[in-house]
Amino acid sequence: MTQLGNVTPLFQDLAKVEHEHNLACQECSLYRLCLPLGLHNNDLIQLDKIIKRSQSYSRGQPLFSTQTPFNSIYVVRSGSFKTTVSAVDGREQVTGFYFPGEFVGLDAIYEQAYRSNAKALESSSVCELPFDMLQELGANMPQLQVQMMSRLSKELSGDKSLMFLLGKKTAEEKLATFLLSISRRFQDRGFSAREFQLSMSRGDIANHLGLAVETVSRLFSRFQDEGLIDIHNKSISIRDVEKLKALCG
């Protein structure tokens, strides 16, 4: 029997607590990770008004696809999502995983059309920000614009790192980097950096890192043999952060 039964609460649990209450930004526990950061009280109330707090999405359910007319960008409220871009021949690339407080759909602003597909990885919910209303609001709220730019820029800088990963790193380095990235993001959200559940499949991970499923599976096994991690299905526990960091290249 593994110790992993008793792990940090999942984002899903957060959903139960917060989604049911549909908390306003002021009371949302994601406040300091989210868009409202730095807005003054009055501005915050206005922003709060335009946010649609949607029903939840179940595992596999699309948030939007390239076919969906563009109206809104989204912030993950609970759970997690993946985005993909796909070619005519059916090949797909998982371009990102998104956790609570992170923006989805920012690449749609230019061209006013979704350029990727977003799907829930587990039971999840989002805050929907109608883009036209966001722009109207931004016209009289410079701080909001600053925040938005900052968000876009952050994703940009993450994508550059990902390009380095895809272009220059070995399979081993890719997976180690991935694990630490997830770990850090869990930590930022107040969860354990050491023990968590991977909401995405091996296939999604492999695809995202530009690897074959089999390679990911083999590496997980090897990392486990070498005492770096403990992994059972989707439960993962990081045993040796330092060695893992050393593998990141």
Q: How far apart are CA 192 and CA 204, in angstroms?
A: 22
As to burial, measured by CB atoms within 10 angstroms (0-12 exposed, 13-18 middle, 19+ buried), residue 140 is exposed
Does position 171 interact with DNA (CB under 7 A)? The reply is yes
Does position 239 interact with DNA (CB under 7 A)? The reply is no
Does position 246 interact with its own copies (CB under 8 A)? The reply is no
Q: How far apart are CA 231 and CA 25, in angstroms?
A: 36
Binding mask 86-125 for its own copies (x = CB under 8 A): -x-x-xxx-x----------xxxxxx---xx---------
Residues paired with residue 130 on neighbouring β-strands, in sequence order: 72
The binder of DNA chosen from 214, 226, 227, 246 (CB under 7 A):
214
Which among 127-135, 148-156, 186-194, 213-221 is the span making contact with DNA, rule CB under 7 A? 213-221
Task: Say if CB 205 and CB 163 are below 8 A apart.
Answer: no
At 210 the three-state DSSP class reads coil
- CA-to-CA separations, 205 to 15, 39, 100, 111, 214, in angstroms, rounded: 24, 36, 19, 29, 11
Does position 247 interact with its own copies (CB under 8 A)? The reply is no
The binder of 215, among its own copies, DNA, none, by C-beta within 5 to 8 A per type, is DNA
Closer CB to DNA, residue 127 or residue 229?
229
- Residue 224 Cβ vs DNA, minimum distance, rounded to whole Å: 8
Task: Say if CB 74 and CB 188 are below 8 A apart.
Answer: no
Does position 32 interact with its own copies (CB under 8 A)? The reply is no
Closer CB to its own copies, residue 59 or residue 160?
160
Contacts to DNA by CB under 7 A: 59, 170-172, 201-203, 210-218, 220-221, 231-234
